[in-house]
């Protein structure tokens, strides 16, 4: 099936399902992992992998976050978070042409600022900005490490234009 020049395959659907499941299960199943005041959400770790897997990963992460946030301790305000994340995920995808680090940094800034705002609304008088940046930054750092490990693996290695994929002899 083609849609505006984008060919949708069962592989795309599989990637979508995997990312949605990882985000949802990582967030609901593991909860938030505390490092002092900072709390890491395991579902966020897959964010830098958007640079490899593209739109199916973006949609999967957004849907996974939407599902996971239905049980959020922040309440209904956290249902806005997937839209904030979508903007950050688009930054990761488009800025990864240059470097995945820049897109990931934009994601951390956007989502940390939103998370800090939510925390300050729920718990007035707290200083959540450092906690938010540490938690989001740590999750994305782990994701960047996974990204670079995957980039070294043959199926995910970047190829320059004109470089053919070696064919197996029959």
pLDDT tens digits along 97-127? 899 999 999 999 999 999 888 888 877 766 7
| pLDDT above 70 (res 164) | no
Domain-located, residue 6: no
| Cβ atoms of residues 109 and 128 within 8 Å | no
| pLDDT above 60 (res 166) | no
Looking at every residue in the chain, the average pLDDT score rounds to: 82
The CATH code of the domain that includes 65 is: 1.10.1760
Domain-located, residue 124: yes
Count of CA atoms in the C-beta half-sphere (13 A) of 101: 2
Q: What is the pLDDT of residues 9-36, one digit of tens each?
A: 778 888 899 999 998 988 887 767 766 6
Q: What is the pLDDT of residues 86-99, one digit of tens each?
A: 999 999 999 998 99
- Model confidence band, residue 157 (pLDDT cutoffs 50, 70, 90): low
Domain-located, residue 10: no
Percent of the chain with pLDDT over 90: 39
Domain-located, residue 8: no
pTM of the entire predicted model: 0.81
Question: Judging by DSSP bridges, how do beta strands 6-7 and 33-35 pair with one another?
Answer: unpaired
> Between 135 and 31, whose confidence is greater?
135
Domain-located, residue 32: yes
Q: What is the mean pLDDT of residues 125-154?
A: 86
Angle, helix 100-122 to helix 128-151, in steps of 10 degrees:
150
Specify which residues 40 forms β-bridges with.
33
| Cβ atoms of residues 61 and 84 within 8 Å | no
Q: How many domains does the chain have?
A: 1
For residue 169, count CB atoms less than 10 angstroms from its CB and return exposed for 0-12, middle for 13-18, buried for 19 or more.
exposed
pLDDT score of 163 = 46
Domain-located, residue 159: no
| pLDDT above 70 (res 161) | no
Taking the C-alpha atoms of residue 86 and residue 29, their distance in angstroms, rounded to an integer, is 22
| Cβ atoms of residues 11 and 52 within 8 Å | no
Which residue's entry shows tokens 């729920």?
A: 122
Domain that holds residue 118: 15-154
Domain-located, residue 5: no
Taking the C-alpha atoms of residue 135 and residue 37, their distance in angstroms, rounded to an integer, is 9
* φ, ψ for residue 40, nearest 5 deg: -95, 130
Domain-located, residue 93: yes
């Amino acid at each position: 099936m083609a849609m505006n020049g984008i060919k949708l395959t069962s592989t795309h659907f599989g990637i979508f399902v995997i990312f949605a499941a990882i985000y949802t299960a990582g967030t609901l199943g593991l909860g938030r992992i505390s490092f002092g005041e900072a709390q890491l959400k395991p579902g966020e770790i897959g964010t830098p992998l958007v640079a490899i897997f593209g739109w199916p990963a973006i949609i999967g992460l957004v849907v996974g976050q939407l599902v996971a946030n239905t049980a959020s301790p922040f309440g209904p305000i956290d249902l806005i978070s997937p839209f904030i994340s979508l903007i950050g995920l688009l930054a990761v995808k488009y800025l990864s042409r240059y470097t995945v680090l820049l897109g990931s940094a934009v994601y951390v800034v956007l989502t940390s600022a939103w998370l800090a705002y939510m925390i300050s609304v729920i718990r007035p008088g707290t200083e959540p900005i450092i906690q938010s940046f540490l938690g989001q930054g740590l999750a994305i750092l782990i994701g960047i490490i996974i990204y670079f490990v995957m980039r070294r693996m043959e199926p995910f290695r970047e190829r320059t234009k004109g470089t053919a994929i070696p064919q197996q002899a029959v």
